[in-house]
Amino acid sequence: MMKAEQLIEQNNELREKLNPKNKKYYENLLLYIRAKAVFQKDEDVETTLLEILNDLIDAQNNGQDAEDYFGKDPEQLASEIIDNLPKSFFDTFKLACYIFFGYIAFFSIPQMIDPNSKMDLGRIVLMGITVFLFALIILWLIGNQAYQKNKLVTAINYSILFILFLAFVIGGFLIETPLTIHLPGLSGILTIIGIFIISTVIYIIERKNLPFLSAVYLYEIGFSIIGIIIRIPLFEKYLYHDHSQNLARIVLIFLVFILIINVRTIWKILKRNK
């Protein structure tokens, strides 16, 4: 069986054979199914989408358009397709783990630059769960946009999403729990290395599916190195105690570098998808 990324690449190539009307019909169907088939296996979803595309190309060659072949209610068709796909709890669990661990890696490692800071495990768990639920809401809204014609409903949906995002960001700073741990010295170094190893495994597995992951991974490499170096007594003296401006300069230079890399990565992705 072909991998999901291979199926997606083949889909992108074959889609160019559709005329503008059929292409719009199919791409709305594709957007809806991909966004809402969260609990289904990627390979099953992409295989089904490719089969639908091949059927539509054959119909187009026979003089039929998408509405004649699939019907004038594509949203109902898409929902039925999703319902008929087998659910994959393993893939759902994997997605949840990726999002949860992504939150830990993205927000916790920069905080660990300070050897005297405490890691709030309770907040990490609560916010990790919140991030996963927030991601599901975003996917649900993206799916709905495929067939949403009411601009007022669209505006309300995105307003609610923006409010939830603000609540999430503010909550990330305000929530405190008693489940905190202090990670100075060797314990902090080992924790950073452990998180970095898991992140590396995820990066190796998913880098082809998620092009932006390279920039995120580079961000984590930098903060991991800084967090480890500052816990080594020889460097701690010059970067932390009475020399915090040196650390601030290093972090600022690194963040500017990451910003440049991110802009370059986004530009490449947009250029490739044109």
Residues of the chain with pLDDT > 90, as a percent, come to 4
User: Where does the pLDDT of residue 131 fall: very low under 50, low under 70, confident under 90, or very high at 90 and above?
Assistant: confident
Instruction: Find residue 119's DSSP bridge partners.
Output: 181
Alpha carbon of 119 to those of 104, 207, 220: distances in Å?
10, 28, 17
What is the reported pLDDT for 274? 45
What is the reported pLDDT for 51? 92
> 27-36 pLDDT, tens per residue?
888 888 888 8
Task: Name which residue leads in pLDDT, 148 or 124.
Answer: 124
Calpha distance 113→59 (Å, rounded): 59
Burial category of 134 from C-beta neighbours within 10 Å (exposed 0-12, middle 13-18, buried 19 and up): middle
Alpha carbon of 80 to those of 23, 32, 60, 68, 83: distances in Å?
20, 12, 23, 18, 5
Calpha distance 223→212 (Å, rounded): 18
What's the whole-number mean pLDDT along residues 69-93? Answer: 82
Radius of gyration of the chain (CA): 23
Q: Which of 199, 201, 229, 205 is nearest to 217 (CA)?
A: 199
Domain ranges across the chain: 4-86
- Of 29-33, 88-92, 151-155, the range with the highest mean pLDDT is 29-33
Average pLDDT, the chain: 77
Calpha distance 181→119 (Å, rounded): 5
The residue type found at 35 is A
- The first and second tokens of residue 68, run together, are 């004649």
What's the whole-number mean pLDDT along residues 84-111? Answer: 75
| Residue 25 in this model has a pLDDT that exceeds 50 | yes
Burial category of 39 from C-beta neighbours within 10 Å (exposed 0-12, middle 13-18, buried 19 and up): middle
What is the reported pLDDT for 273? 45
Task: Name which residue leads in pLDDT, 53 or 246.
Answer: 53
- Global confidence as pTM: 0.63
| Residue 1 in this model has a pLDDT that exceeds 60 | no
> 159-195 pLDDT, tens per residue?
877 887 787 777 777 778 888 888 778 888 888 888 8
What is the reported pLDDT for 151? 73
Torsion of CA 226, 228, 231, 237, to 10 degrees: -40
What is the reported pLDDT for 265? 57
SS3 of residue 273 by DSSP: coil
| Residue 60 in this model has a pLDDT that exceeds 80 | yes
Q: Which of 39, 44, 48 is nearest to 94 (CA)?
A: 39
Task: Name which residue leads in pLDDT, 210 or 152.
Answer: 152
Task: Report whether 63 contacts 20 (CB < 8 A).
Answer: no
| Residue 196 in this model has a pLDDT that exceeds 80 | yes
Q: At what angle do helices 244-272 and 213-229 cross, to 10 degrees?
A: 170
| Residue 241 in this model has a pLDDT that exceeds 60 | no
Q: Which of 218, 172, 183, 175 is nearest to 112 (CA)?
A: 183
What is the reported pLDDT for 257? 67
| Residue 61 in this model has a pLDDT that exceeds 80 | yes
